């Protein structure tokens, strides 16, 4: 159980100030092959989940969207056609290695001028109140040290009528699948990490961080505590992942 001075890094307890550094080391290690490993580990399912996530944003032309933990820019790339040239997408990440790859991708796709990149901590966003119509975060919230602070910041930077959409791993609700999912998570994922990026420990951490992340009802309650309204969630693929949504009125 974490106290006020420690937090979870996977299954380990670490000082609060150390978690961000450790998470940064994980993503520095995997950044070069991040997209390839996502496709390999999920069989491409993550792309379907991300399309569903952007579908839940209800983006319109002219909207301004902040994508937290943007990484290599999957959600940002899907959002840009929806906001159009009169809108904008701000890609934000605490990890420079990941953000640089996202920026390179936007340039390669010819939309570099439409997507701004900001190196920022989700717990202390460098944006004024009511700056955005939508805020998204995909597979990043579980890596944040103080999730409640990040949720409060997401609420703060949204305009009235704004919507937050969170894609995150959740907990498998089909009991018969849990042993297979555990085998895959704790044996096969680290093995693939070792073979592909020569780093099994980073993928072991990723598996552990999923198990330590709040279950969907608990995260919904955290969003409500942060001031979001009409909060809801949709479980994906037997609960492997979930899309959480909340409005600001």
Binding residue positions for S-adenosyl-L-methionine: 72, 93, 121-122
What does the angle CA 83 – CA 87 – CA 92 come to, to the nearest 5 degrees?
90
Judge residue 70's burial from the number of C-beta atoms within 10 Å of its C-beta, 0-12 exposed, 13-18 middle, 19 or more buried: buried
CA atoms of 245 and 234, how far apart (whole Å): 9
CA distance 201 to 65: 34
Backbone torsions φ then ψ of 163, nearest 5 degrees:
-140, 135
Smallest CA-to-CA distance from 70 within 120, 132, 17, 108 is with: 120
Give the C-alpha separation, 90 to 80, whole Å. Answer: 10
As annotated, the binding site includes: 72, 93, 121-122
**Buried b vs exposed e over 36-62: b needs ≥16 C-beta within 10 Å?**
ebbeebeeeebeebbeebbebbebeee
């Amino acid at each position: 159980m974490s106290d006020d001075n420690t937090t979870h890094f996977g299954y380990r307890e670490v000082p609060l100030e150390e978690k961000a550094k450790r998470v940064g080391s994980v993503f520095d290690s995997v950044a070069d092959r991040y997209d390839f490993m996502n496709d390999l580990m999920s069989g491409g399912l993550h792309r379907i989940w991300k399309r569903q996530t952007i579908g839940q944003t209800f983006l319109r032309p002219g909207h301004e969207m902040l994508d937290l933990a943007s990484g290599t820019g999957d959600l940002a790339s899907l959002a840009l056609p929806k906001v159009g040239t009169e809108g904008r997408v701000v890609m934000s990440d605490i990890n420079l290695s990941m953000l640089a790859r996202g920026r390179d991708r936007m340039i390669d796709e010819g939309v570099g001028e439409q997507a701004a990149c900001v190196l920022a901590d989700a717990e202390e966003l460098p944006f004024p109140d009511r700056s955005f119509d939508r805020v998204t975060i995909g597979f990043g919230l579980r890596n944040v040290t103080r999730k409640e602070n990040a949720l409060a910041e997401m609420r703060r930077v949204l305009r009235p009528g704004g919507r937050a959409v969170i894609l995150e791993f959740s907990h498998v609700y089909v009991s018969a699948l849990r042993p297979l999912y555990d085998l895959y998570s704790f044996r096969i994922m680290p093995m693939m990490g070792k073979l592909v990026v020569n780093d099994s420990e980073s993928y072991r951490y990723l598996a552990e961080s999923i198990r330590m992340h709040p279950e969907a009802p608990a995260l919904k309650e955290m969003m409500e505590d942060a001031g979001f309204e009409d909060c809801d969630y949709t479980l994906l693929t037997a609960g492997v992942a979930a899309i959480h949504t909340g409005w600001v009125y």
